[in-house]
Copies of this chain bind each other. A is one copy, B any other.
């Protein structure tokens, strides 16, 4: 029995373009040729153009009237602003999670937390990242606020292209783990205010280790120096 409800074509196209942007197959600032992508996806221009409009309203591409679309170039300021925002949202998610999460939910996150610690002790960065992300997702889900989840994931998508330094220093890593220790304690105490604050600060630290080279505008490095 196959699925009855078929998704619209433009949604699939949008997903695929998002993927290309995230993977870097469509470079920042790169002109998006409608014809080229149509042939690549095997669809006509109509659904592709609809998809581009959606992606534009998501902030992933920009549409220049009569001159096509291009992948938005992230500036350092945009990334920083987005992180500030995501920090506030993470903070809210922590507060709400403490109000709404079940005891079982807390135990599940504790399990993830312990698993993450194992990966940390073994210096297994990929698995650490994976479990780390699941913890944050779990807290977000526990907030039981769908508008928040949707907004967060949109912002997250925008900066997904930014890759983090492979050579994350032990210092930063240690601090992050320390943050998580405090998080789980606050969560188990259902101290929303505290959990929120930790989550917010935690994200700010994350920004610091972000290696923005390549994805971010070069001229922006200049901005940093001058500001």
Binding site for B on A (CB under 8 A): 5-8, 10, 46, 49-50, 53-54, 56-59, 63, 65, 78, 81-82, 84-85, 87-89, 91-92, 96, 145-148, 150-151, 155
* A3 smallest CB distance to B (angstroms): 12
Known: A8-B65, A50-B49. Is A85-B81 also a contact (CB below 8 A)? no
* A81 smallest CB distance to B (angstroms): 4
Known: A49-B50, A89-B88. Is A81-B146 also a contact (CB below 8 A)? yes
* A151 smallest CB distance to B (angstroms): 6
Q: Specify the main secondary structure of chain A where it touches its partner.
A: helix
Q: Report B-chain residues with C-beta under 8 Å of the C-beta of A82.
A: 147
Q: How far is the CA of A54 from the CA of B63 in the complex (A)?
A: 13
Closest 3 CB pairs of A and B: A88-B92, A81-B147, A81-B145
* A66 smallest CB distance to B (angstroms): 8
Q: Report B-chain residues with C-beta under 8 Å of the C-beta of A148.
A: 81, 84-85
In the complex, the count of this chain's copies comes to 2
* A187 smallest CB distance to B (angstroms): 18
Q: How far is the CA of A7 from the CA of B66 in the complex (A)?
A: 10
Q: Are the CB atoms of A92 and B96 closer together than 8 Å?
A: no
Q: Report B-chain residues with C-beta under 8 Å of the C-beta of A78.
A: 146-147
Q: Are the CB atoms of B7 and A84 closer together than 8 Å?
A: no
* A51 smallest CB distance to B (angstroms): 8
Q: Report B-chain residues with C-beta under 8 Å of the C-beta of A46.
A: 46
Q: How far is the CA of A88 from the CA of B146 in the complex (A)?
A: 15
Q: How far is the CA of A89 from the CA of B88 in the complex (A)?
A: 7
Q: Report B-chain residues with C-beta under 8 Å of the C-beta of A145.
A: 81, 84-85
- A88 CB contact (under 8 Å) in B7, B50, B57, B91: B91
